[in-house]
Amino acid sequence: MLKILYIIFFSIIATNCSFNKVVKHHGVPFLDKKQKTLIVNESTTNDIRKILGSPSTKSKFDNDVWIYIERKQTQSNIKNLGKMKIYKNDILVLEIDNYGVLTKKEFLNIDNMEDIKIVSNTTEAGFARNSFIYDFMSSMRQKINDPLGVRAKKRKEISQR
């Protein structure tokens, strides 16, 4: 009986396992191939929208800057307990002039990414609890929270009882 339960248990586990990796896709698919059809000083905003769709991010400075993103993640090996791993990260930055013509195109992929190191040092407070600035700011906070002094009067009455 115990052998039958083991067989059923392992067969359920084996049938639910998949050998295909799960891929999470975000952004414009095949961005690296689609960006090659865009020509600097010839393509217009209509051409860009037709090929790539609407941008992921837009900003307006001297010229419009449109940013398109493609990102693919998959689960890593079993030893990392299924943690998601980025295996494709493409970014296309397009600069468009006031007339709607593409003036600059920059394509970045995962090889262009740089590791950012975060500093673990912390900034200390510029004033101590017994300083003039701390006392002044505390009194200002108290006056903002209770401008008429109603809470202080209630606390005094409660403490006298």
Q: How far apart are CA 24 and CA 84, in angstroms?
A: 9
Q: What pLDDT shows up at residue 33?
A: 92
Q: How far apart are CA 132 and CA 135, in angstroms?
A: 5
CATH 3.30.1450 fits 26-112, yes or no: yes
- Whether residue 73 contacts residue 87, with contact meaning beta carbons closer than 8 Å, is answered with yes
Instruction: Report the pLDDT value the prediction gives residue 7, as an integer from 0 to 100.
Output: 83
pLDDT digits (tens, 9 = 90+) for 107-144: 988 887 766 677 777 776 665 666 777 778 888 888 78
Query: Does the pTM exceed 0.75?
Result: no
Provide the residue ranges of all domains of the chain, joining segments of one domain with +. Answer: 26-112
Q: Give the residue ranges of the chain where pLDDT is below 50.
A: none
